[in-house]
Structure 1
Amino acid sequence: MSTATVNTRSETPRRELPWRRRGEAGFDKPTLPGFIGRYLLLLFCFVITVGPFLWELSTSLKGPGDDIYAFPPSLIPSNPTLDNYSEVLRTVPVISYAWHSLLVGIGTVLTNVVFSTFAGYAFAQMKFRGKGLFMAIMLSTLLLPGEVTLTSQYLTIKSLGAANSLVGVFLPGAISAMNVLLMYTAARAIPNSILDAAAIDGATTYQRLRHIVWPNVKGMASVVALMSFIGAWDDFLWPLVVLNEPEKYTLTVGMQYLQSSFGTDQRVVAAGTMIALIPLIVLFAFAQKYFFKGVEAGGVKG
């Protein structure tokens, strides 16, 4: 009987999956039209995302004899020059402005990582009255564009005596609701049994945060750190509102002087844009390994 059963099972035809037809290639081995379509889609995405950057870089290296408005655009300058960069350095105190942006960026990273970790852990693992209400209020702020709260933020900063200072630029971005949400998601993935076992063994809240929570959320913390720095470095509107003395400008605000002084020479403006962008490119080039590795290591390890 067992032999007959085995033969019956072996002769039973396999059911084809509803999304897979006989004779069709699998997902890992696409057909020729699928293969071409993939690369056309990748080429399209490359043109939209990287194309403007390449055009800006090419413009910053072009001399007066190159036509920057030619169509189709020529990405290779006929006579490459660094005079545009030299003009930016002579016109704008780039080092001073970059130092201001760096201070604001480092402060924003530190506060966002620390406070978002604490808040995310509290919302995800701790029980307290009104937690759902506080969480709903915090998430509702994500629906408001920054321009809506610009006036109230400025009045608050002015009442604190931090207007026209880097502290005033830094404070509104010291913690972000989006970063709290990211850390909340990472902390929620930690099993309650592990934290309960640590509490039974006598671990304090700080010890649970340090030895259990942090090793499992540091991947998401790297995401928070990188995105917080990029946001603080690229911010233009808020520093423009708070600061009114050119000596205290951040780099992005300081570069607006090029637009007013060299509005007819887009080569110099492009060079200033590249100077403001290069630090972010270098940062991501060095941090991307930790960035992606940290996201993958977000799960709890045995």
Structure 2
Amino acid sequence: MSRRVGESPMVSALVNGLLIGLAAIALAPLLWMLSVSFMQQGEASAFPPPLLPARFTLDNYRELFARAGMGRYFLNSVLVAGGITVLSLAFNLMAGYAFAKLRFAGRERVFQTLLAALVIPAQVAMLPLFLMMKGLGLVNTYGGVVVPALATVFGIFLVRQYARSIPDELLEAARIDGAGEFRIFRQIVLPVLRPIVVTLAIFTFMAAWNDFMWPLIVLTDQENYTLPVALAALSREHVQDSEMMMAGAVVTVLPVLALFLLLQRHYIQGLLLGSVKG
């Protein structure tokens, strides 16, 4: 952290020390979870609990994938989160662009209604949503998990705010040259929206991967469970096996954590751009 002109070394040291301390507090549970996952069975139950394993072992991970079927649940999560991300991007990008640049009757009123829906808790909509999925025959299918996430108000809003920065003259020139709306969207709009596409993709994938409540409601067969639901079910069967549960938590958290750390620059940049465009 660079020191500003006129700022004393003591103040700079205090600020840096405070930031380091807060980072350590935030990382401590994650690091201990990782450490416990490599401990032998029952070692974490000692008092006081050890910070590091006495003997490094991968038995907990072998048990997870060999007997608990964690590999199947991992693939389920990849399939569901990947499908939601791809389809949600398509719907959100097209809807956000339409609300930003296309003129149609009731555009502003419809968008304001969508924004008003943000104040409704998601839990309130779960019962009618479940009844809709039941009527469509999508209960206990991956489609029942994916379809409700095809478009989100947040995603539409984020794309709309960024798309408003596209010059109308550029779009009109393309129309005059004979380009259709889909071609304009594909060749002109999408390249401009690239920063927000990355941001929305990361946000959507993380939300879908970590979602627990809706997959728990709509998926009834255990073989269809996603990782968070499977881990919760596994914890009831192995309530005393803290080491295996921590290994399962690592398998669940590590992919999205690695994805966020890898693309955090694009994620934050896209959020900032979306907040100031338009």
TM-score by length of 1: 0.82
Kindly state the Cα deviation for residue 284 of structure 1 after the two structures are TM-superposed.
3.5
Instruction: Determine helix, strand or coil for the equivalent of 1:92.
Output: coil
Indicate if the aligned counterparts of 2:40 and 2:57 stay in contact, CA closer than 8 A. yes
State the shift of 1:297 in Å.
8.6
CA distance in 1, matches of 2:42, 2:238: 17
Matches within 5 A, 1:1-302: 27=4, 30-64=7-41, 66-67=43-44, 70=47, 74-288=50-264, 291=267
SS at match of 2:18: helix
Q: Quick one: distance in 1 between partners of 2:6 and 2:184?
A: 47
- Unaligned 5+ runs, structure 2: none
CA distance in 1, matches of 2:46, 2:4: 43
Q: Is the 1:88–1:272 contact (alpha carbons within 8 Å) kept by the matching residues of 2?
A: yes
Please report how far the alpha carbon of residue 197 of structure 1 lies from its aligned counterpart in structure 2 after TM superposition. Answer: 2.4
Distance 2:124 2:149 in 1: 15
What corresponds to 1:20 in structure 2? none
Query: Number of matched residues?
Result: 273
Question: How far is 1:101 from its partner?
Answer: 1.2
Q: Deviations over 1:36-73 (max 9, x none)?
A: 232123123313432221121111112246445656x6
TM-score normalised by the chain length of structure 2:
0.89
2:103 aligned partner, one-letter code: K
Decide which moves more: 177-186 or 74-83: 74-83
Residue 208 of structure 1: CA displacement?
A: 1.8
CA contact (8 A) 2:100 2:164 kept: yes
**Which has the larger helix fraction?**
2
Q: CA deviation at 1:30?
A: 3.1
Amino acid at match of 1:47: A
CA contact (8 A) 1:186 1:216 kept: no
CA drift of 1:26 comes to: 7.4
Conserved? CA contact 1:216–1:297, under 8 Å: no
Give the drift of 1:156: 0.6
Between the aligned partners of 2:21 and 2:97, the Cα distance in structure 1 is 41
Distance across 2 between alignment mates of 1:44 and 1:126? 49
- Does the 8 A contact of 1:112 with 1:224 survive in 2? no
Distance in 2 between residues matched to 1:66 and 1:28, nearest whole Å: 52
Q: Percent identity?
A: 32
Q: What RMSD in Å do the two structures reach over aligned CA positions?
A: 2.4
Higher relative contact order (CA 8 A, sep 6+): 2
Deviation by residue 1:63-99 (Cα, 9 ceiling, x = unmatched) = 246445656x643222222222222223321121111
Distance 1:61 1:221 in 2: 37
State the distance in 1 between where 2:50 and 2:7 align: 35
Alpha carbons of 1:33 and 1:53: their partners in 2 closer, same or farther (altered >3 Å)? same
Report the structure number with the largest CA radius of gyration. 1
Offset from partner CA, 1:159-203 (integer Å, 9 cap, x none): 100001111011111111111111111101112222222223332
Residue 285 of structure 1 deviates from its aligned partner by: 4.8
Where does the alignment leave 5 or more consecutive residues of structure 1 unmatched? Answer: 1-24
